[in-house]
Structure 1
């Protein structure tokens, strides 16, 4: 029999059969994995740009994020809520109110299409709609939305959880804008106490339950600095004990962030106010002395 006959070919090894539909599914899964990685990178970058007040960059990055998220998840997925809120918030920071309203309304529309979705998404939309209404001078409507934000996070995490603090902060700001400083001080005092409790809680509990990331620490610093500015500009409505809590909280935050100079500055301020009290707190002096000594070791 001549070389290359049919009988010879029948003995040659066969290539494995690959179903075309299975190959397409595999490729689609691989593409989705890459898209999710891109989404995570863009979302992280946009959030960092936003907290650093780089609103123009956050707006551009958020727009890229939205495009990739739509390709990955479709037009009405709950996964689009965060990109829409990021773009809307950046637009608000740029004082582009119509664009902010457009994107935040889109996030709200998706939320309404998914009743019962995670409370984190619901609170996110409520909070930023509240900030939109506040920028428009509609304080009653703003407070309603921010109260909803607080409600949903409280139901998920608990009434005193530090993740609820930002809602109370914005609620306090709405009263500042109306000149109702006594109410604002009360709400901001609650914000400070939430962070103070968190910073003073057991490290193991923080590690197992919830830990602030770097962006959240920056946001915390911005909130506390804003409260400090407001209180120091008009100290008559603020009790000395509230100033002590604020300065101690700032000292603990900057100790956590490794800024020794600011930690010492705020620890000193707290002790100065403490010494002006009729009955200074010995516990405060003990706590802050221990903090200062630990930073020197």
Structure 2
């Protein structure tokens, strides 16, 4: 809906959600979001607004009702902060997911929203703003706007430096983004130095074999790959594959065990089991796809393929698609992984048995498990 700024109440300036310039267009669904034009409205809708349109209404609509007690006022304030925190989590996860999917331009509105809500809760100088700056920096690097990326990273770096109790997790993410920036600039030596810092801080926070640490190994492998140091790159890709394979196998095993046993459990026990079973959020799903497909494609192009490596990455992808309820894709990749496993001269019996058991379970899905997509119903 088009707006006439002259018709605004006195002292009210409606600003564009993306660029903060005077707004002339209003979202007709939520009526609390404004844009300088249709182009920015469409960009915001694709990036994040479609997900949060209705969620913005209670956050941006003034409460005019009178609250009789201090307790009621505190409860309303707590509810507002809770909603804002949920919005930060949602917008950051969405922004990170879009980055892993290579949709850098679409990630910007999500990151801007997460930054805005973080400022509302924590203020301008808080370390809590850094994750949003890093998403904006990575989006800028992906769009080849390196100067803009440097500005966001400088802001993040300054905030980290003046926060003595900054977590290793945030230091890891900052180092990774600096590594990506230097890699984009062709400064591979500096890039590797920062990626080594990333791995150090992530290992300190999560351990050396956690999927949150594996991203540092993966980007370091990419730098060595660009420099044609294939032996080093290959060993790092193998490490990344092993970490994701282990993580996905743990989730699949827990989930299938739950489905095999829950029929005899009470509802309370089933609910408890469901909370214990690990899962992937949207960003982790997108990261797993990006990382494992990249490694799979690189290995497929090698003349003398390592059958064990192909079997492992193929099985990891098959498990990922099983968790995403794409049974057809999971079956296809599982069969390829088994073919690679069968072609080896010296088989890893544990891996081979794991792949065979997984494929067997997939074939029995319609009859045995309660994980069927609609096409099997």
Classify the TM-score, shorter chain: 0.7 to 0.9
Deviations along 1:10-57, whole A, 9 cap, x unmatched?
Answer: xxxxxx9979xx999787656544433443343233233333332212
| Cα 1:208–1:111 shift into 2, 3 Å | farther
* Alignment-derived partner of residue 179 in structure 1: 228
Kept after mapping to 1: 8 A contact 2:254/2:277 = no
* Alignment-derived partner of residue 109 in structure 2: 60
* Alignment-derived partner of residue 244 in structure 1: 311
Deviations along 1:144-175, whole A, 9 cap, x unmatched?
Answer: 11111111111122222232111111110010
| Cα displacement (A) at 1:285 | 4.1
* Alignment-derived partner of residue 233 in structure 1: 301
| Cα 1:100–1:275 shift into 2, 3 Å | same
Q: Secondary structure at the match of 2:186?
A: coil
Kept after mapping to 1: 8 A contact 2:296/2:313 = yes
C-alpha separation in 1, matches of 2:177 and 2:197: 11
C-alpha separation in 1, matches of 2:343 and 2:91: 49
Unaligned runs of 5+ in 1: 1-15
* Alignment-derived partner of residue 291 in structure 2: 223
C-alpha separation in 2, matches of 1:156 and 1:209: 22
Aligned match for 1:122, one of 171, 177, 192: 171
* Alignment-derived partner of residue 74 in structure 1: 123
| Cα displacement (A) at 1:93 | 1.6
Aligned match for 1:141, one of 178, 186, 190: 190
| Cα displacement (A) at 1:116 | 2.8
* Alignment-derived partner of residue 261 in structure 1: 328
Q: Secondary structure at the match of 2:165?
A: coil
C-alpha separation in 1, matches of 2:219 and 2:149: 18
| Cα displacement (A) at 1:242 | 1.6
C-alpha separation in 1, matches of 2:301 and 2:277: 37
C-alpha separation in 2, matches of 1:23 and 1:96: 48
* Alignment-derived partner of residue 5 in structure 1: none
Return 40-49 or 80-89, whichever deviates more: 40-49
C-alpha separation in 2, matches of 1:185 and 1:206: 37
| Cα displacement (A) at 1:68 | 3.0
Higher share in helix: 1
Q: Secondary structure at the match of 2:344?
A: coil
Count of aligned positions: 279
Kept after mapping to 1: 8 A contact 2:322/2:330 = yes
C-alpha separation in 2, matches of 1:78 and 1:86: 14
RMSD: 2.8
Deviations along 1:89-135, whole A, 9 cap, x unmatched?
Answer: 11112111111111112111111111231111111111111111111
Give yes or no for the alignment of 1:212 onto 2:280. yes
Return 51-60 or 28-37, whichever deviates more: 28-37
Aligned 1:1-297 pairs, distance under 5 A:
31-201=80-250, 203=254, 208=276, 211-236=279-304, 238-297=305-364
Q: What TM-score, normalized to structure 2?
A: 0.67
| Cα 1:101–1:18 shift into 2, 3 Å | same
| Cα 1:251–1:17 shift into 2, 3 Å | closer
